Chain A
Amino acid sequence: MSAARTRRTHSAPPGSRPAPPARAGFREALAFEWIKFRSVRSTVRTALAAAALPPVGAVFVAATGSLQDDDTVLGGSLTLSVVGQMLAAVLGALLITGEYAHGTLRTTLAAVPRRATVLAAKATLLAALLWALALASCSVAYLVGDALLPDGERPQGEPLPALFGIAASFAVAGLLGLAAGTLVRHSAGAVTTVVGLLLLPSLFGPLFGGAERWIAGISPTAALEKLTQTSDASADAVGSLGPWPSLALVTACTATLLGAASMTLRRRDV
């Protein structure tokens, strides 16, 4: 490296540089997060796996005929959407724990020191991406299941507007993962935590007697199962709250947790 080459790109003395630029805010942070997301294999692959699972599940269920008689076509086609949703939650966790693991969070926060903006950008990217991917993936899964399953043997289920809610439950699961990842910081711990948050309410809900309909309905998985109108979505398993109220409850809880995560991130040293 010659000194002359170095000097050429830094020739402007500080005094003659143009006026300071407009404030870099949320839009810039979002663009930054998008580049980070698409330039690493692990995040892209996790997102693609989450989107691939529901159609694969529909083919599998139709091919093996492994459906209960009282299940709906919609519910049967979306059997694997629960696992896809879990991957969505894992993706959310990785979006921030990956930064801790690779030491890039310091780089990120040096570029965008307003930490709430960083987390908001991550949340926006994640929610938009998961909603769009899940909507496409679950619609395809339903169409595949509908085409492959024999006609007239079982109730159809109502795909609309349920599919929009199903896609939203993926986004909410992702945000729950992001909140857990921000609070826990380590990938393994965050993934364990968020999978627990998805599964435990329906396991422990029945222990809470009268509060069961709230407790069991508090997981994004419960909301998803109710929206898919599967026969698994019994009141025992996922609470007796209706599908949309359940989704609203889960969204509110996730938003609260994300707010707590944002406050923690702002206070913590990195």
Chain B
Amino acid sequence: MIEATGLTKRYGDKTAVDGLTFTVRPGRVTGFLGPNGAGKSTTMRLVLGLDTPTSGRVTVGGRPYPALSAPLRTVGSLLDAKGVHGGRSAYDHLAGLAAGNRIPRRRVEEVLESVGLPPDTARKRVKGFSLGMGQRLGIAAALLGDPEVLILDEPVNGLDTEGIRWIRELMRSLAAEGRTVFLSSHLMSEMELTADHLIVIGKGRLMADTTMRAFIESHSGAHTLVRSPQPEELRALLEAAGARVHVTPRGGWRVEGPDAGTIGDLAREHGLALHELTPAHASLEEVYTALAQDEAEYRTEAAR
């Protein structure tokens, strides 16, 4: 469990994280979503005690991170692909971390195997590693202490599709074991597939803290894609019924307001043919963009 209360970080006059309050609960994957520069990495550094908050506090398992007795046995983290000395072997990197937290040396071999780094590769210097192997080493370091809490900053960055799928399955299985998994990404599509719960931030401020499904439903305003050989008649009819109608790039109508059944009935009553009638949700990408736009407009308004 990760709990942040009024967490704020300012660098000079720039506010990177602005009064964040959220709770990351065990047993599910919590996605931490926001565009680049939204404050995700800063928040994660604050959680790990690497940066000191300007105000507010954050605890992991009820305690501030620096107060943990052997932190790697409670929290595993992956901040970025770096964080490993290129001249050191993967094995030595993990052996050092293990020694620093009283983790038995055999765990090093175990995690190397579980992330799929072969022993001979693990003995080579990290400098020659591909991005994907580096990321696997980072995950191995996070798993080393068999921690209850995992904090991963952009773990799929630079991975190929197989690597992305591997991380996704790993995160879900770790959450299924009852662990707390906190995962940041700026890739909405990836989040949609991996996370159960979402914390969304923009410009350092909390924009949403909700389940994935509720987030999409409450912010997308379900809509229906409609096509008809008599488009203008249909449009007039729908607008008369109070629907909002926009043209889609593929030449049909995107209708917000009445559901597919209502639209179909309306068309039949007025003798209009329908060639397509598709209920749809906005993708997370669209929802996020809309949310960010609202926020920007709100700020512009407030500034006037």
Is the beta-carbon distance between A111 and B72 smaller than 8 angstroms? yes
A39–B70 CA distance with the chains assembled, in angstroms: 23
Question: Which parts of A8-66 form the interface with B (CB within 8 Å)?
Answer: 8-15, 17, 20-24, 28-29, 31-32, 34-36, 39-42
Q: How far is the CB of B209 from chain A (nearest CB, A)?
A: 23
Dominant SS at the A interface?
helix
Could you tell me how many residues of chain A have their Cβ less than 8 Å away from some Cβ of chain B? 46
Q: A10-B146, A103-B82 are in contact. Are A112 and B100 (CB under 8 A)?
A: yes
Q: How far is the CB of B49 from chain A (nearest CB, A)?
A: 5
A50–B116 CA distance with the chains assembled, in angstroms: 40
A109–B68 CA distance with the chains assembled, in angstroms: 12
> A1, A14, A24, A98: which contacts B69 (Cβ < 8 A)?
A24
Tell yes or no: B240 within 8 A of A by CB. Answer: no
Q: A22-B102, A107-B141 are in contact. Are A5 and B114 (CB under 8 A)?
A: yes
Is the beta-carbon distance between B102 and A24 smaller than 8 angstroms? yes
Tell yes or no: B99 within 8 A of A by CB. Answer: yes
Q: How far is the CB of B301 from chain A (nearest CB, A)?
A: 34
A21–B68 CA distance with the chains assembled, in angstroms: 11
Tell yes or no: A113 within 8 A of B by CB. Answer: yes
Is the beta-carbon distance between B49 and A113 smaller than 8 angstroms? yes
Is the beta-carbon distance between A110 and B48 smaller than 8 angstroms? yes
Is the beta-carbon distance between A111 and B110 smaller than 8 angstroms? no
Tell yes or no: A270 within 8 A of B by CB. Answer: yes
Tell yes or no: B122 within 8 A of A by CB. Answer: no
Q: A17-B146, A39-B96 are in contact. Are A10 and B174 (CB under 8 A)?
A: yes
Is the beta-carbon distance between A28 and B169 smaller than 8 angstroms? no
> B51, B83, B146: which contacts A269 (Cβ < 8 A)?
B51
Question: Which parts of B61-90 form the interface with A (CB within 8 Å)?
Answer: 65-66, 68-75, 77, 79-80, 82-89
Q: How far is the CB of B13 from chain A (nearest CB, A)?
A: 16
Nearest 6 pairs of A and B residues by beta carbon: A32-B100, A39-B92, A35-B96, A113-B66, A31-B99, A103-B82
> B66, B88, B110, B177: which contacts A40 (Cβ < 8 A)?
B88
Closest B residue to A104 using CB positions: B85
Q: Could you jot down 17 A-B contacts, CB within 8 Å?
A: A6-B170, A9-B113, A10-B146, A15-B178, A20-B69, A22-B70, A24-B69, A24-B100, A32-B97, A32-B99, A35-B95, A36-B92, A106-B45, A110-B79, A113-B49, A269-B52, A270-B51
Is the beta-carbon distance between A113 and B68 smaller than 8 angstroms? yes
Q: A35-B95, A110-B48 are in contact. List 5 more A-B contacts (CB 8 A).
A: A1-B166, A6-B114, A109-B50, A110-B71, A111-B100
Tell yes or no: A154 within 8 A of B by CB. Answer: no
Across-interface contacts of A111 in B (CB, < 8 A): 71-72, 97, 100-101
Tell yes or no: B143 within 8 A of A by CB. Answer: yes
Tell yes or no: B17 within 8 A of A by CB. Answer: no
Across-interface contacts of A1 in B (CB, < 8 A): 114-116, 166, 170
Tell yes or no: B130 within 8 A of A by CB. Answer: no
Tell yes or no: B186 within 8 A of A by CB. Answer: no
A7–B113 CA distance with the chains assembled, in angstroms: 12
A32–B71 CA distance with the chains assembled, in angstroms: 14
Across-interface contacts of A17 in B (CB, < 8 A): 146
Closest B residue to A270 using CB positions: B50
Across-interface contacts of A42 in B (CB, < 8 A): 87
Is the beta-carbon distance between B146 and A36 smaller than 8 angstroms? no
Is the beta-carbon distance between B96 and A22 smaller than 8 angstroms? no
Is the beta-carbon distance between A40 and B69 smaller than 8 angstroms? no
Is the beta-carbon distance between A21 and B69 smaller than 8 angstroms? yes
Tell yes or no: B179 within 8 A of A by CB. Answer: yes
Across-interface contacts of A13 in B (CB, < 8 A): 177-178
Across-interface contacts of A28 in B (CB, < 8 A): 70, 99-102
Tell yes or no: B248 within 8 A of A by CB. Answer: no
Tell yes or no: B191 within 8 A of A by CB. Answer: no
Is the beta-carbon distance between B71 and A113 smaller than 8 angstroms? yes
Across-interface contacts of B110 in A (CB, < 8 A): 9
Is the beta-carbon distance between A9 and B141 smaller than 8 angstroms? no
Tell yes or no: B111 within 8 A of A by CB. Answer: yes
Residue-wise interface mask of B (36-51) relative to A, using a CB-CB cutoff of 8 A (1 in contact, 0 not):
0000000001001111
Is the beta-carbon distance between A102 and B69 smaller than 8 angstroms? no
Residue-wise interface mask of A (228-270) relative to B, using a CB-CB cutoff of 8 A (1 in contact, 0 not):
0000000000000000000000000000000000000001011
A112–B50 CA distance with the chains assembled, in angstroms: 11
Across-interface contacts of B65 in A (CB, < 8 A): 113
Q: How far is the CB of B160 from chain A (nearest CB, A)?
A: 13
Across-interface contacts of A113 in B (CB, < 8 A): 49, 65-66, 68, 71
Q: A17-B146, A21-B70 are in contact. Are A29 and B100 (CB under 8 A)?
A: yes
Is the beta-carbon distance between A110 and B69 smaller than 8 angstroms? no
A28–B77 CA distance with the chains assembled, in angstroms: 19
Closest A residue to B79 using CB positions: A106
Q: How far is the CB of B140 from chain A (nearest CB, A)?
A: 10
Question: Which parts of A84-143 form the interface with B (CB within 8 Å)?
Answer: 98, 102-104, 106-114
Residue-wise interface mask of B (109-146) relative to A, using a CB-CB cutoff of 8 A (1 in contact, 0 not):
01101111000000000000000000000000101001
Tell yes or no: A3 within 8 A of B by CB. Answer: yes
Q: How far is the CB of A30 from chain B (nearest CB, A)?
A: 9
Q: Which of B65, B93, B100, B173 gathers most chain A CB within 10 Å?
A: B100
